[in-house]
Amino acid sequence: MLEKLQTARTWVGELTEMSLGLLALAVVLQVLFGATVPFFPVDVIGSVVEVTNQVLLASLLCGC
Protein backbone atom coordinates (compact mmCIF):
# COMPACT_ATOMS: atom_id res chain seq x y z
CA MET A 1 0.00 0.00 0.00
CA LEU A 2 2.80 2.39 0.87
CA GLU A 3 4.49 1.67 -2.45
CA LYS A 4 1.33 2.64 -4.38
CA LEU A 5 1.06 5.85 -2.40
CA GLN A 6 4.67 6.70 -3.18
CA THR A 7 4.07 6.00 -6.89
CA ALA A 8 1.01 8.26 -6.89
CA ARG A 9 2.98 10.98 -5.11
CA THR A 10 5.74 10.73 -7.71
CA TRP A 11 3.23 11.00 -10.56
CA VAL A 12 1.57 14.06 -9.02
CA GLY A 13 4.95 15.71 -8.53
CA GLU A 14 6.00 15.07 -12.12
CA LEU A 15 2.67 16.30 -13.52
CA THR A 16 2.90 19.44 -11.41
CA GLU A 17 6.45 20.11 -12.57
CA MET A 18 5.49 19.59 -16.20
CA SER A 19 2.42 21.84 -15.86
CA LEU A 20 4.46 24.65 -14.34
CA GLY A 21 6.98 24.33 -17.17
CA LEU A 22 4.25 24.57 -19.80
CA LEU A 23 2.73 27.55 -18.02
CA ALA A 24 6.10 29.32 -17.95
CA LEU A 25 6.62 28.56 -21.64
CA ALA A 26 3.18 29.93 -22.49
CA VAL A 27 3.89 33.15 -20.56
CA VAL A 28 7.23 33.61 -22.34
CA LEU A 29 5.63 32.99 -25.74
CA GLN A 30 2.89 35.49 -25.00
CA VAL A 31 5.43 38.10 -23.91
CA LEU A 32 7.50 37.55 -27.05
CA PHE A 33 4.70 37.28 -29.61
CA GLY A 34 1.91 39.28 -28.00
CA ALA A 35 -1.56 38.24 -26.93
CA THR A 36 -2.26 36.32 -30.14
CA VAL A 37 0.13 33.40 -30.28
CA PRO A 38 -1.15 31.44 -33.30
CA PHE A 39 -0.61 27.97 -31.84
CA PHE A 40 -1.67 28.89 -28.29
CA PRO A 41 -4.96 30.83 -28.48
CA VAL A 42 -5.36 31.41 -24.72
CA ASP A 43 -4.57 34.66 -22.90
CA VAL A 44 -2.29 33.07 -20.31
CA ILE A 45 -1.10 36.25 -18.61
CA GLY A 46 -4.67 37.54 -18.33
CA SER A 47 -5.80 34.24 -16.84
CA VAL A 48 -2.96 34.20 -14.31
CA VAL A 49 -3.74 37.78 -13.29
CA GLU A 50 -7.44 36.96 -12.94
CA VAL A 51 -6.80 33.91 -10.75
CA THR A 52 -4.32 35.88 -8.63
CA ASN A 53 -6.85 38.65 -8.13
CA GLN A 54 -9.54 36.16 -7.13
CA VAL A 55 -7.25 34.50 -4.59
CA LEU A 56 -6.21 37.84 -3.13
CA LEU A 57 -9.81 39.04 -2.93
CA ALA A 58 -10.90 35.82 -1.24
CA SER A 59 -8.09 36.06 1.30
CA LEU A 60 -9.00 39.68 2.05
CA LEU A 61 -12.68 38.84 2.47
CA CYS A 62 -12.11 35.92 4.82
CA GLY A 63 -9.51 37.80 6.87
CA CYS A 64 -6.85 35.13 6.47
For the chain, the domains span 2-62
Question: The pTM is what?
Answer: 0.68
Q: What is the mean pLDDT of the chain?
A: 87
Give the per-residue pLDDT at 41. Answer: 79
Q: Give the model's pLDDT for residue 64.
A: 62
Q: ∠ CA(41), CA(47), CA(51), 5° rounding? A: 160
The predicted model gives 31-41 an average pLDDT of 79
State the Cα–Cα distance between residues 40 and 42, nearest whole angstrom: 6
pLDDT band at 59 (very low <50, low <70, confident <90, very high): confident
Per the CB < 8 A criterion, the answer to whether 25 and 4 are in contact is no
3-state secondary structure of 63: coil
Most confident of 35-39, 42-46, 50-54: 50-54
CA dihedral 64, 13, 16, 31 (to 10 degrees): 100
